[in-house]
Chain A
């Protein structure tokens, strides 16, 4: 029996597409290879940097601020995503454009917008300062910047998830005695879990990687991007590269774990 039986013929077209597409993967792999080779050449230096308290602190601030930003997005972004998914008027179109705005703005501009809103004389920063909540050079400022730049990734993904839930399911649930809140909690939300998780992961990744918007409102306490930039300008390439390698390892571990969880937990939602 031919072992190739049942396989499709790749053909020249698919081959060309594969070649072109592999450039994207190739560049990433090349970068990872270069940095890994450099770090493995001097493991002592890498370990010293990896266990540097400043690096650990920056990692903790980065990951915790990104997590808080995503949790806040889960609270307010989910509501907006639902409204956008179920609205068909022109105001929804305007709102969608506003949601997408951080995607097209240069990150420095996004940072300036955040700064103008949250600095001590800004429309939110000023009253917040009155109750002791400061954003400039403070953890809440980092969260605000991350929230702003990550919001379109979360909201768009969740909106697509809600749009995939057929309105008929919600209609049936209403006629069976469910209130709108019950319908949302028992039908719409469970059927959108995969897109919510996917949006949260994308938003978290975006938040972790943010530099320009964060640095404008809060250079300190340093997030990992700020620390890498700072070490690059003061300590040189080797120091910045080792911190970057730590970050790469942690992010790869995080995303592989996340994908495994999604594959496991999302199986039942493939029935939708």
Chain B
């Protein structure tokens, strides 16, 4: 459907380097990355608002790199929704049809129908300044979709919404996208949005795509240390491979031996990634035959709703997340000894080049694993 090939672009402080992206028809692709990574510039390139210095953009096989935005049939919704403040809700939604000089009677019919579909018919005569964030977002989506775009671009379009409106808007958008088989490219920081909405994720850091894949793949198996930190992996630790057997590597992390499922034989230094929630708090006495048992001292606890974030000093500082009720049952307080355990399949290793993903191969038939 849409293909970006070798896109390069320099725009003030933003630089895109040789970006390749393929998004299929009806696919929902999230582009994720830290602030300043070039996500919005990329969207604007796709929309035709900036001309790339190198590379090309194809839509349904047709090169549109030189095509002006008004001919591309790509709509964009920004984080601030960018409603025209001097126009009413009706006039905002009708704007695209008016520019295309559609018959006024048809415009009225289409706009009313669209407003009803988004349950915002009551916003017909209201100006954007009198609308809530959720209402503005619906008007912006209605305005973007009424022109029947082939591709919808969303630039952090849910970031400014309250949690309830956000959930509702995400649900509505996903339903609409699936029913229309709409191709969506959505720039976001929020992993929960990607989990709910995205078929695929592309991570962009410093103007380069550093990883593509499903949300689960990128979340569980970051391809580099920078991706691991971006996806919020709690423990990103330097380690050294000390032993390798088929499907299992043993890593020394600051004196702790941790086993990880890994397909590729690794040697030398690696980055060890473990999500905080992957640690289990083991009641003492622990099962001696368990792998990846780590004993340390609980330094600090902080509440995360029903969960607790713990800093555990085992020579190396580890971050673990556990249910508050589990900790209460075991009566563990700050300063107490604590034993943690992690499944080798939840330990992800990144090779020394920090770019090559070294994936886990699952949990089946791993020697030594109970």
Contact = CB atoms under 8 A, between A and B. Distances in A.
B211 interface: no
B117 to A, nearest CB: 18
Interface string B234-276: 0000000000000000000000000000000000000000000
A70 to B, nearest CB: 24
Contacts of A171: 44, 47, 49, 69, 76, 78, 82
A179 B70 CA distance: 7
A271 B147 CA distance: 25
A38 interface: no
Nearest to A179: B70
Interface string B55-73: 0000000000000111010
B86 A176 contact: no
B85 A174 contact: no
B127 to A, nearest CB: 6
Given A176-B75, A177-B70, A271-B129, A190 B99 contact: no
Interface in A166-180: 166, 168-169, 171-179
Interface in B109-166: 127-129, 143-144, 147, 149
Contacts of B144: 175-176
A178 B127 contact: no
A272 interface: yes
A187 interface: yes
B147 A176 contact: yes
B49 A191 contact: no
B313 to A, nearest CB: 48
Nearest to A176: B96
Nearest to A187: B84
Contact of B127 (A88, A176, A190, A271): A271
Contacts of B143: 172, 176
Contacts of B86: 190-191, 268-269, 271-272
10 contacts: A166-B80, A169-B82, A171-B78, A174-B47, A174-B70, A175-B49, A175-B72, A177-B100, A271-B129, A272-B86
Interface of B: 12, 44, 47-49, 68-70, 72, 74-78, 80, 82, 84-86, 95-96, 99-100, 127-129, 143-144, 147, 149
Given A169-B84, A173-B84, 13 more contacts: A166-B80, A168-B82, A171-B76, A171-B82, A175-B69, A175-B74, A176-B70, A176-B95, A176-B99, A177-B99, A177-B147, A178-B99, A272-B86
Interface of A: 88, 166, 168-169, 171-179, 182, 186-187, 190-191, 268-269, 271-272
